[in-house]
Amino acid sequence: MRAVSAEVKTTTCYMCACRCGIRVHLRDGEIRYIDGNPAHPINRGVICAKGASGIMKQKSPARLTRPLRRKAGAERGAGEFEPISWEEALSVLERRLKKIRSQDPKQFAFFTGRDQMQALTGLFARQFGTPNYAAHGGFCSVNMAAGMIYTIGGSFWEFGGPDLDRAKLFVMIGTAEDHHSNPLKIAISKFKRAGGRFVSVNPVRTGYSAIADEWIPIRPGTDGALMMALCAELVREGLCDREFLEQYTNAGYLVNVDAASRDEGLFAHAALEDRTNPFRRHDQLWWDRRSGRPVRNHSEGAEPALEGEYRLDDGTPVKPAFQLLRERLEAHTPEWAAQITGIPAARIRALAAQMGRTARDESFELPIAWTDSWGRRHERVRGNPVAFHAMRGMAAHSNGFHSIRALSILMSLLGTIDRPGGFRHKAPFPRGTPPVYARIPNGPDAVKPDTPLAGAPLGFPAGPEDLFVDADGGPVRIDKAFSWEYPLAVHGMMHNVVGNAWRGDPYRIDTLLLFMANMAWNSSMRPAEARRMLNDKDENGEYRIPFVVVCDAFNSETVAYADLVLPDTTYLERHDVMSLLDRPISEFDGPADSVRVPVVPPTGECRPFQDVLVDLGKRLGLPAFQGYRDYVDFITRFETEPGSGQGFLIGWRGKLGDKALVGEPNAAQWDRYAANNCFFHERMPEELQYMRNWNQGYHEWAQKMKLRRHPDPIMIQLYAEVLQRFRLAAKDKGPSARRPPPHLKERVAVYFDPLPFFYLPLEQQQTESTAYPLAAVTQRPMAMYHSWDSQNAWLRQIHAHNDLYVNPGTARAERIGDGDRILVESPWGEVRCTARYSEAVEPGTVWTWNAIGKAPGAWALAPDANEVTRGFLLNHLISDRLPGPAGGLSNSDPITGQAGWYDVRVRIARA
Ligand code: SF4
């Protein structure tokens, strides 16, 4: 009998973004099956339906296998191409990009989807000299990243998460069932077996919520109100960890409350400035309860007042930040939140009590000694065992930034940050609040012909001076990220690109390069509009977006709109890195990264996009890409600065491969990873594993390992002075001379509130709730990731069409039966689909799976495929624009530019 497989190769899965280790079993060079790698720290042998179905991705009829050029005379969207050679394709691109670079590099826009190589693509854009670069974060979960990083210096998923090994209560909010998939499933299983209590807050009870001990249905877009009420209850009931707030947050910092002062709302400082970090001051004042005097924070023997109002020696009235928070929270009663969220007030009150009492009464200590940033030795680490996890359901609203600020503050009131049983960071986090390691340019002069961009294309503004705007306050980037419209758009705003380029607002571009981003379908709001814009011509008969390049492994809806198609490899055919410079696989106990190595040769003429970028970089003369043979060589030898010893991979550095994180390049590095199941994990000493925001030992180590530039404490920002700096500029005050344009002043003044506040999502504010009474949301199923899998023969057997799930009470009120065809209308469009009764959705919400419905002609599906005939795409009902000043604004969070995917209101009727 022949063995099922003769050879086993290990690599890293990419059927979703979780990066599990897999074993690929081959016979005669062909993949026979894929299973989980038991030796891998992320999934420990567990594999999901998607991961095991990777074999069918290889065999998909939708693969692109040759470079293609749109046929002369064919219209975009028709999908009429002729094959060309790679040399021809790259020469076309090289000529075009060279010309753009020599004239105006920002005419080249480069946007990528859910890729895992943003350190490389970002470097390419920066070296090219264009600011017009971003990945998918702006339309995914930037609110989660920005809201948390600006508050606690880290965020969920790749950069931190719940410590379920020691938590007793786990609260999950708005998390899709595939998110952080296998690792979270393993952790929840262990947590529940150990007797932990799991509460899920979500409009829909599927996936993780289905196995929660308690499901708390909530109306979409109202999570912020729940968070505010929970915070208020903790404060009211005295269930906060006061010592944690005093020592590790800015709760005791004194805020100038003189409304007439130029510095209103900013912290009061000691005369002597601390320069531990030139970008961040640490000399804010406390009001010392013992001496009854203002003192510099953390002065020896001082005890900060958290409440009250005081006067400085010069007469300036001040209040501790916590006092301002307390005042803000006063009106946010459970009864107030119940009206907004639909959750009974008693349940909110009980949840707050459960959180507060678990954190207080079940707290414990680990015998791990550590020294804090002020030189004080602690013999133990305390744990307050309440853990949270939240994601896109909370983030993808135009009010999400403040909701997530409120969640971060809730976690901080409970004293759970980087403590056992609470939220724990993963390297390279924690970073500053906000981080200053990547400085974005702050004016148009940063873009110069034939010159790399003077700054990073993406970063974290700390005030108006950091905005990327021109002398009139206008945006420099095509997506308007880091402008006064979206000052903290730290992941860029991919969802604005096609529309802005088409409108020429703020300018026209020449070439748009999309890498695995399906902008003509599921990655666009109102995709029909996006398709029209991609295909539209100006008065001279030229396309308004003159040249579109698409790089993808599969024939997505967007491919048909390309002028040039570059066929990418699959994850099983290429080298790849999950780098600490990007989105690593770090664990709570230390940094970790991983690689992919090819297990089969590329299909047809496919080339890894990584290789193509390095090749293109060399051809264009981009300085950072010169002298490398290919991507493999580039990853091995590239250093962030000459001789820095810091590169894409942290394992087996140094000539002998005996160094971790920092060390000279090692020619054998790829082999070492391949021999170690494709990952590297550096476990830190235990005393560096907790309280890392304020752990002196960790900071010294992190500085040595180039994870941090400065060893200063990372204070939790209950009160976000950064936001106040923008607000002051809008009020013609404050230290910055920069001012928002007149039409945006009020908007900046309202939304840049240094304390969290709740407002209804912008679209809901503008929609007549009686005409459109229902919220409509999507989520990804466990068996498919984004739009990636409708070409996968095995996974199509699980999901080949999608229905709209409606609470039976809601459906019956409209005389809709289970299985009826219905019409779903929003102010922006309508779709037809099948209604399905579901008790597992709150009555004011309808929902469906994301990206199952497909456009005819794409993904090599038959014209009568279920995805085309029975599936539907909710995006047709969601607008990318909202009415507003100066011709309207993007349907996005006014702070971060996060796309408001989950804000649409609809009505339903029998078709
Ligand atoms: S969760 Fe599944 S699809 Fe995602 S990386 Fe792991 S095995 Fe692959």
Q: What is the mean pLDDT of each run of 10 residues along the chain (911 residues)?
A: 82 95 96 97 95 96 98 95 98 98 98 89 98 91 96 95 98 86 93 98 94 97 98 98 98 98 96 76 96 97 98 97 98 98 98 98 98 98 98 96 98 98 98 90 98 97 97 97 97 96 97 96 95 96 97 97 98 97 95 98 97 98 98 98 97 97 98 98 98 98 96 97 98 95 96 98 95 96 87 94 98 98 97 98 97 94 96 97 83 97 98 94
Contact 565, 67 (CB under 8 A): yes
Can you tell me which residue has the tokens 């009505």?
Answer: 907
**Alpha carbon distance 752, 488 (integer Å):** 10
434 preceded by a cis bond (ω within 30 of 0): yes
CA 16 to centroid of ligand 1, rounded, Å = 5
Q: Is 556 in the pocket of ligand 1 (CB under 6 A)?
A: no
pLDDT of residue 137: 87
CA 42 to centroid of ligand 1, rounded, Å = 10
CA 784 to centroid of ligand 1, rounded, Å = 10
**Alpha carbon distance 875, 869 (integer Å):** 16
* Residue nearest to ligand 1 atom 7, measured at CA: 51
DSSP 475: B
Q: Is 20 in the pocket of ligand 1 (CB under 6 A)?
A: yes
Q: Is 182 in the pocket of ligand 1 (CB under 6 A)?
A: yes
- Residues in contact with 772: Cβ distance below 8 Å, sequence separation at least 6, in sequence order: 825, 826, 827, 905, 906, 907
Q: Is 775 in the pocket of ligand 1 (CB under 6 A)?
A: no
**Which of 33, 56, 177, 181 for mutating ligand 1's site (highest number of atoms within 8 Å of CB)?**
181
Q: Which of 824, 817, 809, 649 is nearest to 119 (CA)?
A: 649
Q: Is 826 in the pocket of ligand 1 (CB under 6 A)?
A: no
pLDDT of residue 886: 67
Contact 625, 611 (CB under 8 A): no
Q: Which of 128, 831, 830, 35 is nearest to 446 (CA)?
A: 128
Give the tokens for residue 677: 């199941």
Q: Which of 556, 530, 553 is nearest to 604 (CA)?
A: 553
Q: Which of 478, 706, 682, 656 is nearest to 589 (CA)?
A: 682
* Residue nearest to ligand 1 atom 6, measured at CA: 20
* Residue nearest to ligand 1 atom 4, measured at CA: 16
**Alpha carbon distance 216, 870 (integer Å):** 31
Q: What are phi and psi of 872, to 5 degrees?
A: -145, 160
Contact 869, 516 (CB under 8 A): no
CA 53 to centroid of ligand 1, rounded, Å = 10
Ligand 1 atom closest to residue 181's alpha carbon, by position in its atom list: 1
Helix (H) or strand (E) holding 197, with range, is strand 197-201
**Which of 19, 50, 177 for mutating ligand 1's site (highest number of atoms within 8 Å of CB)?**
50
Q: Which of 596, 595, 586 is nearest to 683 (CA)?
A: 586
Contact 282, 274 (CB under 8 A): yes
pLDDT of residue 888: 85
- CA 164 to the chain's CA centroid: 22
Q: What are phi and psi of 190, to 5 degrees?
A: -65, -40
pLDDT of residue 273: 66
**Which of 10, 11, 20 for mutating ligand 1's site (highest number of atoms within 8 Å of CB)?**
20
Q: Which of 465, 482, 436 is nearest to 280 (CA)?
A: 436
Strand partners, 511: 108, 547
Q: Is 181 in the pocket of ligand 1 (CB under 6 A)?
A: yes
Q: Is 47 in the pocket of ligand 1 (CB under 6 A)?
A: yes
pLDDT of residue 757: 98
CA 492 to centroid of ligand 1, rounded, Å = 26
User: Side chain identity at 801, as an amino acid letter?
Assistant: H
* Residue nearest to ligand 1 atom 8, measured at CA: 51
Ligand 1 atom closest to residue 183's alpha carbon, by position in its atom list: 1
Q: Is 43 in the pocket of ligand 1 (CB under 6 A)?
A: yes
Q: Which of 338, 156, 324 is nearest to 230 (CA)?
A: 338
Q: Which of 504, 567, 510, 560 is nearest to 535 (CA)?
A: 560
Length of the chain: 911
